[in-house]
Amino acid sequence: MANPPPLAELQAALIVALTIGAPSPVGFDNERIQAAATALADKRQRGIVRTWPSLAEDIGPQFCDCVRSYTQAHPLPSRGGSLADGRTLIRWLGKSQRLSDATRFQVMSVDLSHRMLPDGQLIQRTWPTIRIAWLGESRQLVLAVHWSFLGEVWLKLPRLTVTVRRRVDA
């Protein structure tokens, strides 16, 4: 009779099956593992929607499929919860998804006060940070400064308009 795999190997295989949809480990009920994995993915999706509501609106009806693809490819960040998970989703979407001003403003706020590690973790910033963004829908330039010990200062320049005038020779 073959020796069963060590407990640590079974636990690691179970975590992978539950979080990114890998096959169930030997000796586990596949249907129950898939049901638990689906429930965890749904919970993760609800966390992203709760933390990044404008992102769900930006993506629209494809949001569930988009998050499902993302969660199968990316484990939950170990630090930062739904805030980090949503920020990693936005990074994963890249330029393929046009973001509303509300989402871009929230991204700017998160990036102002947190640093994102390559594995998706968010770490609180300790050094002063400056962020500038152009919000195209509202036509505003936003400047924000963050000091960990003083807080944040935000400056929104109202509706900038660019007028191009051609010189008319008389």
- What is the domain partition of the chain in residue ranges? 7-124
Distance, in Å, from the CA atom of 45 to the CA atom of 31, rounded to the nearest integer, reads 21
> What 3-state class would DSSP assign to 110?
helix
User: What does the CA dihedral 144, 148, 149, 152 come to, rounded to 10 degrees?
Assistant: 20
Quickly state the pLDDT bin for 161 (edges 50, 70, 90).
low
Contacts with 14 (C-beta within 8 Å, 6 or more apart), sequence order: 24, 25, 28, 33
Using the predicted structure, report yes or no on whether residue 34 has a pLDDT greater than 60.
yes
Distance, in Å, from the CA atom of 136 to the CA atom of 54, rounded to the nearest integer, reads 16
Better pLDDT: 21 or 57? 57
Mean pLDDT for 110-131 is 90
Q: In this structure, which amino acid lies at residue 33?
A: I
Q: What's the whole-model pTM score?
A: 0.78
| Paired tokens of 131 | 């962020």
| Paired tokens of 71 | 């969660």
Residue 169 is predicted with a pLDDT of 54
Residue 136 is predicted with a pLDDT of 85
| Paired tokens of 159 | 């509706």
Residue 50 is predicted with a pLDDT of 95
Better pLDDT: 158 or 84? 84
